């Protein structure tokens, strides 16, 4: 409940601080006195947007602060989720600076308007003529039925399941799209992979093939060079090997004369050994260097294939071709895996649909059971509010579409006259009838759920006399379990309040100011008498006012 409201520099209000209590609080005042200003200030506290026109003095900031007692609202999770300090006496402050900038605070912590609006849903429900029209909205009608059906836990489970279901459906659509794109590329990728696999590439083979090609392509030149080298090395008496051995024999005779000669002999011997080994290898090469046209042709074809593939894939090595081959293989494998993944998600979606259908059926059955209770209670209340022939017919139809609150279409049908045909509530109910229906709805909901502070803004428009008294009685009954405000022009309703506030406007010089004042018992009698008879209060009006209050 709201316990106090402080307003500074807002519209026609210079400075105002007022405390509120439990029960039914009445707010009265002449047209234009400033009742809408009070609601406007509350609207800013609840997160509505503001502008500089809200400032009375445009050179000073506007500050609106409201205190709320929230110990029974179970809002600890909200404060924790939004990283706010939880206080049973929660303070909401809204500031509008002369620059036009707006700031909001919850328990002195800065918040954005969205957070403020979310919290306000738990704190105050301002019921105006405009909100009465919301009763025609299907979502609002479902909320009424679900409150009586006590569908809160089932709806939470359903909505959680629906969120997962929509996520999976979106993922499935994405995968199917990806699958369609992949199928277009699959044939081409398969061709490329088969082409690479047919080449039977091996890492490092390009270098070996290029070496083999050069050797085979120049076999005559190589053979001629080897044969000539062997002839020079091994020719008798004039060959290199023969001369080296002569040098060795010569040095053997002088080695006793110096250690340096012995060292030179050893080096000469090493040269002979190395050269002899070279000759042996040359002989081996001479034996294998043979002309092989078939191998040369194979090597050339394999190299040309590699060069063609490298050019096609814009790479420079067999290693890179093998990487592309692996990527293509994985790509085709992923397409195969994609089919399996799609089937898996389809199975999950089917399972989720079964679960959602089960919850939707439970919600539907509980709604069906609650409808007679709702129509009976509404009929009873509205009969007391001067609608003796009122009838309601609420049709619920299960369909296949998943909505945010189930799988049903709803028709809220209404007839106000005896023998009259049923019609959609939003089409056949008048403004006065809608006001009374909404009051009945609020009165019923108060029995089934913890409503926030409820403010009725001139809900009594179009009614008077005995009906007004009964509307006041309903508000009074509701205020036993919740805080209720009624902004009214009717003395019959004003007399039902536990406390009575009056909005008045005064002009001093060129300045007009509005104020909200808690009336004493005597002032209250006078205010209700004025509501009965006008500015000139008669003795009978005073007596009538006292009678209403008693």
pLDDT tens per residue across span 318-348: 888 888 888 877 766 666 677 788 888 999 9
CA 455 to chain CA mean position, Å: 32
By the 10 Å C-beta count (0-12 exposed, 13-18 middle, 19+ buried), 85 is classed as exposed
SS3 83: coil
| Bridge partners, residue 127, by sequence | 456
- Cα distances (angstroms) measured from residue 173 to each of 141, 170, 349: 33, 5, 12
Query: Helix axis angle, 293-313 relative to 205-217, nearest 10°?
Result: 140
Looking at per-residue confidence, does 519 or 32 come out higher? Answer: 519
Angstrom distance (rounded) from CA 289 to CA 471: 118
pLDDT the model gives residue 437:
86
Q: What percent of the chain has pLDDT over 70?
A: 95
pLDDT the model gives residue 33:
67
Q: pLDDT-derived band of residue 178, with 50, 70 and 90 as boundaries?
A: confident
Q: What percent of the chain has pLDDT over 90?
A: 30
How many CA atoms within 13 Å lie on the side-chain side of 433? 19
Q: pLDDT-derived band of residue 522, with 50, 70 and 90 as boundaries?
A: very high
pLDDT average, residue stretch 164-185: 83
pLDDT digits (tens, 9 = 90+) for 235-291: 766 778 778 888 888 888 888 888 888 888 889 888 888 888 888 888 877 776 666
CA angle 22, 131, 103 (to 5 degrees): 70
User: 185: which residues sit within 8 A by CB, 6+ positions away?
Assistant: 331
* pTM for this entry: 0.66
Looking at per-residue confidence, does 425 or 368 come out higher? Answer: 368
pLDDT the model gives residue 184:
65
pLDDT digits (tens, 9 = 90+) for 70-124: 988 888 989 998 999 999 999 999 998 888 888 999 999 999 999 998 998 889 8
Angstrom distance (rounded) from CA 501 to CA 484: 13
Parse the chain into domains and list their residue ranges. Answer: 1-123+452-519, 178-337, 521-550
pLDDT the model gives residue 158:
94
pLDDT the model gives residue 159:
94
pLDDT average, residue stretch 377-403: 90
Looking at per-residue confidence, does 49 or 520 come out higher? Answer: 520
Nearest to 378 by CA among 453, 423, 424, 439: 439
Question: Which region holds residue 534: left if phi is over 0, alpha if psi is between -120 and 50, else beta?
Answer: left
pLDDT the model gives residue 319:
86
pLDDT average, residue stretch 137-151: 89
pLDDT the model gives residue 372:
94
pLDDT average, residue stretch 12-16: 86
pLDDT the model gives residue 140:
84
- Cα distances (angstroms) measured from residue 212 to each of 229, 297, 320, 362, 480: 22, 11, 22, 80, 103
Nearest to 374 by CA among 131, 133, 128, 150: 150
CATH number of 1-123+452-519: 3.40.50.300
pLDDT average, residue stretch 36-50: 86
H/E element, 397: strand 391-403
């Amino acid at each position: 409940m709201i316990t106090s409201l402080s307003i500074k520099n807002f519209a026609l209000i210079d400075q105002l601080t007022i405390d509120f209590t439990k029960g039914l609080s009445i707010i009265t005042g002449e047209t234009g006195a400033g009742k809408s200003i009070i609601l406007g200030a509350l609207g800013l506290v609840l997160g509505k947007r503001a502008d500089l026109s809200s400032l009375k003095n445009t050179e000073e900031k506007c500050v609106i602060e409201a205190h709320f007692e929230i110990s029974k609202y179970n809002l600890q999770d909200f404060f924790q989720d939004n990283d706010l300090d939880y206080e049973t006496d929660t303070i909401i402050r809204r500031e509008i600076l002369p620059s036009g900038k707006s700031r909001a605070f919850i328990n002195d912590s800065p918040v954005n308007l969205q957070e403020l609006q979310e919290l306000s849903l738990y704190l105050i429900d301002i019921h105006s003529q405009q909100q009465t029209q919301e009763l025609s909205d299907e979502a609002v009608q479902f909320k009424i039925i679900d409150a009586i059906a006590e569908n809160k836990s089932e709806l939470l489970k359903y909505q959680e399941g629906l969120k997962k279901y929509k996520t999976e459906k979106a993922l499935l659509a994405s995968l199917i799209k990806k699958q369609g794109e992949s199928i277009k590329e699959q044939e081409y990728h398969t061709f490329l992979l088969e082409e690479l696999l047919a080449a039977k590439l091996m890492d490092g083979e390009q270098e070996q093939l290029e070496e083999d090609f050069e050797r085979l392509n120049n076999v005559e030149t190589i053979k001629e060079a080897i044969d000539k080298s062997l002839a020079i090395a091994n020719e008798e008496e004039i060959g290199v090997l023969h001369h080296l051995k002569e040098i060795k024999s010569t040095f053997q005779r002088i080695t006793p004369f110096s250690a340096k000669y012995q060292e030179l002999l050893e080096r000469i011997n090493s040269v002979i050994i190395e050269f002899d080994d070279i000759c042996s290898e040359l002989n081996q090469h001479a034996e294998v260097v043979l002309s092989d046209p078939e191998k040369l042709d194979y090597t050339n074809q394999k190299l040309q294939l590699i060069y063609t593939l490298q050019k096609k894939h814009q790479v420079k090595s067999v290693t890179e071709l093998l990487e592309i081959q692996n990527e293509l293989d994985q790509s085709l494998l992923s397409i195969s895996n994609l089919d399996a993944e799609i089937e898996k998600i389809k199975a999950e979606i089917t399972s989720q649909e079964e679960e959602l259908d089960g919850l939707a059926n439970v919600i539907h059955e509980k709604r069906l059971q609650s409808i007679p209770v709702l129509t009976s209670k509404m009929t009873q209340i509205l009969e007391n509010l001067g609608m003796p022939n009122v009838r309601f017919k609420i049709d619920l139809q299960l369909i296949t579409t998943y909505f945010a609150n189930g799988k049903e279409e709803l028709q809220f049908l209404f007839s106000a006259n005896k023998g009259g045909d049923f019609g959609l509530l939003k089409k056949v109910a008048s403004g006065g009838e809608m006001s009374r229906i909404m009051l009945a709805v609020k009165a019923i909901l108060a029995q089934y759920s913890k409503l926030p502070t409820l403010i009725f803004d001139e809900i009594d428009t179009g009614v008077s006399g005995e009906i007004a008294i009964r509307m006041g009685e309903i508000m009074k009954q509701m205020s036993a379990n919740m805080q209720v405000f009624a902004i009214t022009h009717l003395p019959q309703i004003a007399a039902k309040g536990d406390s009575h506030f009056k909005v008045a406007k005064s002009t001093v010089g060129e300045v007009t100011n509005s104020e909200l004042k808690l009336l004493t018992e005597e002032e209250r009698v006078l205010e209700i008498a004025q509501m009965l008879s006008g500015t000139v209060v008669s003795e009978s009006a005073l007596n009538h006012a006292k009678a209403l209050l008693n």
